[in-house]
Chains A and B, each alone.
Chain A
Amino acid sequence: MGRPPRTRSDAVLLERVAAGDEDAFADLVGRYQARFFRVALRILGNERDAEDGVQLAFLRVFRKAGSYRSDWQGSTWLYRVLTNVCVDVWRKRGRQPSIDAASEVEEAAARTHSVALRLDVHGALARLPAEMRSVVVLRFSEDLSYEEIARVRGVSINTVKTQLARAKRALRSHLKGAW
């Protein structure tokens, strides 16, 4: 989008958005849209739902920026809003693994030589509840710490660990024989 390098912190941008500054909102969208899409796609499994999720999340950001507090890292709050929306989209789309997910993952697998991808990790992930998939995505795609994931999802660190362990178990049993 050709925006200048970041000059204002996320927290400052969020405060500007809360004050109704549309340019600050456009900056925030430019800064976060790729990351939001990456996370939404990994939680929801197909590009159409992911784009819906991103739009709804930014709508929520725009409407609720007033409740942002600067003792939170901006990105933590944004991940909270985004994963909330994705979990809700997943619920309303019937809690079903998406049909497109498999084909997109196969395409992705075809572009790499990873054995794990051929084992269809995403197919296995699609069967997990969206909350658990959010935690997996925040950990392995976004590289967040347990503590930050716990904050994003409003759960204890132990719950984060339990959910990651359960996700791995589910993957193992889905991919059994190959592990």
Chain B
Amino acid sequence: MGRFSREEDLAAAFVRLPESPAGLDRRVIDFVRGTIDDLAHLPELDIEATDRGVSRVGFGTGRTRTSGAASRRFAEQAREELAEFFGAERGYFTVPVDLSSARPFQRAVLEAASRIPLGEVRSYRWVAAGAGNSAAVRATGSALRTNPVPLLVPCHRVIRTDGSLGGYAGGLPLKQRLLLLESRIPGLVGLVATKRVCRAGCAMEKAGDELDRVVFSSIESARASGYRPCRSCRPEGVE
């Protein structure tokens, strides 16, 4: 290729960075082994649904409570999507949630928490501001603690400003595990065959195999690479 004035310097700049650290291969193998076990383990979830959507997710015994055909479909859909999420194959949920039992401020808090992108975290203060009352940090914490639909509304992505985890209805080890899990689910997946960019778990995305996927860091980068946002999962909504 044609050399540009300092092209060789670009190559040279890469030469002297540190080598891979000792024992990396062992750590990789241990990590993969541990994670495979982790991904195989799906917590027992209680799910309740109404004819408007999923109204409660609980960490319990795997019970389902529904009333009528529509609510049964929602509960089934929620189980499927949650299983894909715990298998690191899904990064968002399409099943509707029914928050009609929540008070207006709690609903605003849960909606703000839903805007935290997959794999990222925000502070209680950030969520309070998003809910329209940046002073109500304590009330925000309480609204999140009583989130009727954890996982579907990702209250596990809310942590303290100092970086510590805060609380979680399912217990802190689960909160930690969820955050780790999300680091393993790609956020924006481009499909080479169709030049569309999707969220992980979209039907379009699931149809492609690993050879067909390229991950992007933003919709803008995807567009610059010739990929358009999928009209079905609308990934531009999560940025």
Q: Which residue among A37, A42, A92, A105 has the maximum number of chain B CB atoms within 10 Å of its CB?
A: A92
Contact A168/B13 with A68-B211, A87-B217 known, Cβ cut-off 8 Å: no
Say if the beta carbon of B11 comes within 8 Å of chain A: yes
B9 and A114 within 8 A (CB): yes
Q: Across the interface, which residues of B come within 8 angstroms of A56, CB to CB?
A: 183-184
Contact A29/B25 with A59-B31, A80-B214, A88-B186 known, Cβ cut-off 8 Å: yes
Say if the beta carbon of A176 comes within 8 Å of chain B: no
State the CA gap A38–B21 with chains docked (Å): 10
Which of chain A's residues has its CB closest to B215's CB?
A84
Question: Chain A 17-31, CB within 8 Å of chain B: the 1/0 string?
Answer: 000000001100110
Say if the beta carbon of A8 comes within 8 Å of chain B: no
How many residues on A have C-beta within 8 angstroms of the other chain's C-beta atoms?
A: 73
Q: Across the interface, which residues of A come within 8 angstroms of B7, CB to CB?
A: 140, 168
Q: Across the interface, which residues of B come within 8 angstroms of A125, CB to CB?
A: 13
Give the contacting residue for A156; candidates B9, B11, B187, B226; CB below 8 A: B226
A168 and B24 within 8 A (CB): no
Question: Chain A 123-163, CB within 8 Å of chain B: the 1/0 string?
Answer: 00100011110001100110000100000011110010001
Say if the beta carbon of B29 comes within 8 Å of chain A: yes
Which A74-104 residues have C-beta < 8 A from chain B? 77, 80-81, 83-85, 87-92, 94-95, 104
A92 and B14 within 8 A (CB): no
Which of chain B's residues has its CB closest to A76's CB?
B211
Q: Across the interface, which residues of A come within 8 angstroms of B16, CB to CB?
A: 108-109, 111-112, 117
Say if the beta carbon of B6 comes within 8 Å of chain A: yes
Q: How large is the interface on B (under 10, 10 to 19, 20 to 34, 35 or more residues)?
A: 35 or more
A87 and B210 within 8 A (CB): no
Which of chain B's residues has its CB closest to A62's CB?
B32
State the CA gap A41–B25 with chains docked (Å): 16
Q: Across the interface, which residues of B come within 8 angstroms of A26, CB to CB?
A: 25, 29
Q: Which residue among A41, A80, A122, A140 has the maximum number of chain B CB atoms within 10 Å of its CB?
A: A140
A77 and B211 within 8 A (CB): yes
Could you list which residues of chain A lie within 8 angstroms of chain B, going by C-beta atoms? 1, 25-26, 29-30, 33-34, 36-38, 41-42, 47, 51-52, 54-56, 58-60, 62-64, 67-69, 72, 77, 80-81, 83-85, 87-92, 94-95, 104-105, 108-109, 111-112, 114-117, 121-122, 125, 129-132, 136-137, 140-141, 146, 153-156, 159, 163, 168, 171, 179
* A–B complex contacts, Cβ < 8 Å, 15 sampled: A29-B25, A29-B28, A33-B25, A38-B20, A47-B21, A54-B28, A58-B31, A91-B218, A105-B13, A114-B13, A115-B9, A125-B13, A129-B221, A131-B216, A131-B224
